[in-house]
Amino acid sequence: MCGIVAYLGEKEAQPLLLEGLRRLEYRGYDSSGMAVLNGGGLHVLKKVGRIQALAAAAEITPLHGSLGISHTRWATHGEPSDRNAHPHVDATGKLALVHNGVIENYASLKKRLITEGHTFTSDTDTEVLAHLIGDHFQKLPANTPSRLERAVMAALREVQGTYGIAVIHQDEPGVLVGARRGSPLVLGIGVGEHFLASDVSAVVAYTQKAVYLNDYDIVTIDRNGFRVSSLTKQSAGFEISAIDFHQADADKGEFPHYMLKEIFEQPQAIQNAIRGRLSHEDSTAVLGGLNMDAKELRGIDRILVTACGTALHAGIVGEHLIESIAQIPVETDFASEFRYRNCPIDRRTLVFVVSQSGETADTLGALREARRKGFRVLGICNNVGSTIARESDGGVYMHAGPEIGVAATKSFTSQVTIFALLALLFGRMRYLSASQGREIIENIEKLPTLIGQVLSQSERIKAIANKYAKSSSMLYFGRLYQYGVALEGALKMKEITYIHAEGYPAAELKHGIIALIDKNTPSVFICPQDSVHDKNMSTIQEIKARKGPIIALATEGDTSVEAIADDVIWLPKAVDYIMPVISSIPLQLLSYYTAVALNRDVDKPRNLAKSVTVE
């Protein structure tokens, strides 16, 4: 979950590296560092803390040169500190390496290297990899062609685990080598310059052309260009892709935080998710990227959705959507569990993997496990060049634009919207009439406007957030479509405010959770006027009888909820199956304004990073 930026060109590397790290800070912000090569040798600078600490140190001790690597860290092995920060150097001090991933056999490699006379100064697995590559480099004759590339390849053949790396060496001052396995690495192609980064957002200001490296790819860059080779094949093919967004898309604009910007971008994100995908003529959804014809889709008896975190919550909502509209049984599963447990799956099961980044390690592992067992796997992701997008059999892109805030917002609502499209598609193939399909289309098309109505209540929601910001714990309740929304609302509150929060099916209150109810524990109740409205009202009464404060999300004009709740956030009238998209917006705002009231670092919450590319 770390960020890598590397540069080789004609410009000074330091300012480009620092700017790239700032754009990747959402991937890790425990510590950062950079190494630059010039005529005077290899120079390394690293600091614990945020990027500004490194930038301040670089003002005092600037690193000059046009070849450099840099890194922002989310700690896995070793606590955040200067000595554990990347880059790490080898035994000679001539090689520097930055690394995202986990070297699983680092302990045995380290033990062997120590017996050979190596001394280590950090607690990281990365330093072991730097020493290992340096050791192979030293054993090659000085006149060996592509010496650094060969050393990297030799070392990686000994490595077990995941990596995205960038490596430079003082004895090859015009060469930059990168490699990936299980951790993303992108080659940015500029005019007379090249970049390596773990995310294209770091280089989009300088180029709109990129090569998304595959697992086991090695890229070697010099002043004349680049070449891509492979650890497992004689030759490695590659495709130069256009980056599908621009620098302005990844800026905060007029908003104080990325999270707030992305919350307010949701009307447009939903419009992007449905654009060109609704056929009024056929009363259905058009999702050609599934790469399945009507006969194959009709042959599906069961669907499995596997994901992590927010994406799994979207899948839980999707389960209700597909089962109720298309009447296909759906199961949701933690990707981290699916990849390791022996899960019996019917042979006519279609697997969906869901990930905003398309690089989530556990979800990618679940994809590979399902494909290994012979199942067709479709992806729902936001990154066209991601590993999940490339390795799945088909899928649906969200087209939500870059999401920089660590707490997912527009990706959740986009994923839920895509599940609504899938439910419509499957439903029209089975039980829905054309008129029913048209009605669903009309309601889905209302979503951007309805979301705008919720966003107009932001000041009201801010006042409610300020009222409850000192709470030590909060409970979230929802039923049917709203259960996944309750889980997601609680997750948002935990992530950015550090207030303990849990989501539950509302009817579970009596089965143990009611013990937590007291006057200091607010309950957030998602209770639109739907088929279980009366049941929800009874549960709210049980909480009020025990003096528990109620924050209710209720349909406009619902006087029964208004009469009993302490605070009400109004939801526009809408049918059940699109309400989860609408009801999630106030919960995002509630957590955001609570975090602001508590002076939390909204976009960079403690211990979290945006893209979970390690187990």
Report if residue 465 sits inside a domain.
Answer: yes
**267 shares a domain with 209:** no
Q: Is the dihedral of CA 330, 334, 339, 343 positive or negative?
A: negative
CATH number at residue 494: 3.40.50.10490
Query: Phi and psi dihedrals of 28, rounded to 5?
Result: 165, 135
pLDDT in tens, 108-126: 999 999 999 999 999 999 9
Report if residue 176 sits inside a domain.
Answer: yes
As a whole number, mean pLDDT of residues 551-558 equals: 95
Residue finishing a domain among 445, 470, 490: 445
Q: What pLDDT, on the 0 to 100 scale, is given for residue 609?
A: 67
Residue 519's pLDDT band (boundaries 50, 70, 90)? very high
pLDDT in tens, 247-291: 766 778 899 999 999 999 999 999 999 999 999 999 999 999 999
SS (H, E, C) 515-530: HHCCCCCCEEEECCCC
Residue 201's pLDDT band (boundaries 50, 70, 90)? confident
pLDDT of 599 higher than 90: yes
pTM for the predicted model, two decimal places = 0.87
Q: What pLDDT, on the 0 to 100 scale, is given for residue 248?
A: 67
Report if residue 450 sits inside a domain.
Answer: no
**421 shares a domain with 441:** yes
pLDDT of 535 higher than 70: yes
CB 163 within 8 A of CB 129: yes
Report if residue 556 sits inside a domain.
Answer: yes
**242 shares a domain with 317:** no
pLDDT in tens, 352-401: 999 998 888 899 999 999 999 999 999 999 988 888 998 999 999 999 98
**216 shares a domain with 291:** no
Q: What pLDDT, on the 0 to 100 scale, is given for residue 453?
A: 96
**232 shares a domain with 218:** yes
CATH number at residue 30: 3.60.20.10
**487 shares a domain with 409:** no
**386 shares a domain with 297:** yes
**165 shares a domain with 37:** yes
Report if residue 537 sits inside a domain.
Answer: yes
As a whole number, mean pLDDT of residues 552-573 equals: 95
Per-residue CA distances from 52 to 26, 31, 32, 63, 509 (Å)? 14, 10, 9, 16, 46
* β pairing state of 349-355 and 377-381: parallel
pLDDT of 331 higher than 70: yes
Query: Which amino acids are annotated catalytic?
Result: 2, 610
Biggest CA-to-CA distance, the chain: 83
Work out the angle between the directed axes of helices 410-430 and 309-326 (0-180°, nearest 10).
Answer: 20
Residue finishing a domain among 401, 416, 445: 445
Residue finishing a domain among 222, 250, 278: 250
pLDDT above 70 covers a percentage of the chain that reads 98
**206 shares a domain with 78:** yes
**Of the ranges 15-29, 62-76, 297-311, 572-586, which one carries the lowest mean pLDDT score?**
15-29
Q: What pLDDT, on the 0 to 100 scale, is given for residue 339?
A: 83
Report if residue 572 sits inside a domain.
Answer: yes
Domain count, the chain: 3
pLDDT of 600 higher than 80: yes
Which domain covers residue 54, as residue numbers?
A: 3-250
Higher-pLDDT residue of 418 and 609 is 418
**384 shares a domain with 493:** no
As a whole number, mean pLDDT of residues 3-14 equals: 94
Q: What pLDDT, on the 0 to 100 scale, is given for residue 614?
A: 61
Three-state secondary structure call for residue 385: coil
* β pairing state of 330-334 and 3-8: unpaired
**558 shares a domain with 441:** no
pLDDT in tens, 582-598: 999 999 999 999 999 99
pLDDT in tens, 70-84: 999 877 777 888 899
Report if residue 451 sits inside a domain.
Answer: no
Identify which of 222, 131, 140, 241 has the alpha carbon closest to the alpha carbon of residue 177: 222
Tell me whether residue 535 is exposed, middle or buried, using C-beta atoms within 10 angstroms of its C-beta: 0 to 12, 13 to 18, 19 or more. middle
Per-residue CA distances from 11 to 67, 190, 191 (Å)? 9, 12, 11
Q: Return the top range by mean pLDDT from 20-29, 75-84, 178-187, 318-327.
A: 318-327
Identify which of 584, 410, 606 has the alpha carbon closest to the alpha carbon of residue 482: 584
**207 shares a domain with 80:** yes
Work out the angle between the directed axes of helices 579-597 and 481-497 (0-180°, nearest 10).
Answer: 20
